Amino acid sequence: QQARAFAPASVGNIGVGFDLLGHAIEGPRDVATVRRIDAPEVRITAITGDVPGVDRLPLDAPRNTAGQALIALRERLGLAHGFELSLQKGIALGSGLGGSAASCVAALVAANALLDAPLSRDALYPFALDGESVSSGSRHGDNVAPMLLGGVVMATHDRMIALAVPAWLHAVVVHPDQMLETRRAREVLAEPYPLPLVVQQSAHLALFLTGLQRGDASLLREGLVDLLVEPRRAPLIPGFDRARQAALDHGALGASISGAGPSTFAWFESKAEAEAAAAPMRQAFVDAGFDARVHVSPV
């Protein structure tokens, strides 16, 4: 028995929801092919794909996000059988597009289809967190959750909530040819934050969530401003400030770092606006000396 599943790339944090909010995008994706085997173990047979970093991914299951997720699934469900897994990477590692999370979610969804009693997406969430934490060193669901549910998702430590999204909302995501390790991008957040700044960020998050719920562009514009994480990470990403500015100059509701970076995203009120901003946002990274890929997607 064999099953295949894909998981899309995602924009983690969405600026104001550090480790809490994320959304899936159309375009890049990872594909997992899983076979049910009699042996009580998880094996990874191959990892292929024409993306940077693929050669550095471990085939050793406990050290691989997808492998670890399936190990957790087997152990917690007490399965007698095992899984054999191969991965086809379409999302670059260290890109800020959820590359490690996508392998893990694709593998889980494929393996789930092979269970005698498949689980709900909600029930798969803890296993996805188990897998993803292998790569980032921390348990956060802002990437795996939108990959499991689609759309914009709020991901707490133990549950996922899909949020309403206005139909006109579109994102531009630019992936510059740089690699930024999530662990490194988290190190710069270690120093404490002053409480007044946290309060101001809370206001932004509240405005942002209310804007989403009401489909109110001006609330989203006020809310999509990250005062905590972006200022500390932006210096790690050459070209980011100019790409963000290019987005705002072209009418973006807001723009920030996708996940741990270096990918950069912006939200727009229409597909046409997003398409018009895509080339200037990409050009900002080219001017900084990097090749870059750009994706326009409904949110």
Rule CB under 6 A: which residues touch ligand HSE? 12-13, 19, 140, 142-143, 182, 185-186, 259-260
Residue nearest to ligand HSE (CB): 12
- Cβ proximity to ligand HSE: between 259 and 280 the closer is 259
CB of 121 to ligand HSE, least distance (A): 18
H helices of 114-164, where?
121-136, 144-149
- Cβ proximity to ligand HSE: between 33 and 256 the closer is 256
CB of 189 to ligand HSE, least distance (A): 8
- Cβ proximity to ligand HSE: between 13 and 201 the closer is 13
Measured CA to CA in angstroms, residue 91 lies from 53, 81, 200, 207, 264 at distances of 10, 30, 34, 31, 15
- Cβ proximity to ligand HSE: between 81 and 186 the closer is 186
Q: Could you write out the three-class secondary structure of 233-285?
A: HHHHCCCHHHHHHHHHHCCCCEEEECCCCCCEEEEECCHHHHHHHHHHHHHHH
CB of 21 to ligand HSE, least distance (A): 9
Amino acid at 17: G
- Cβ proximity to ligand HSE: between 224 and 260 the closer is 260
CB of 84 to ligand HSE, least distance (A): 27
CB of 111 to ligand HSE, least distance (A): 22
160-163 and 152-155 strand pairing? antiparallel
Q: Which of 168, 154, 175 is nearest to 299 (CA)?
A: 168
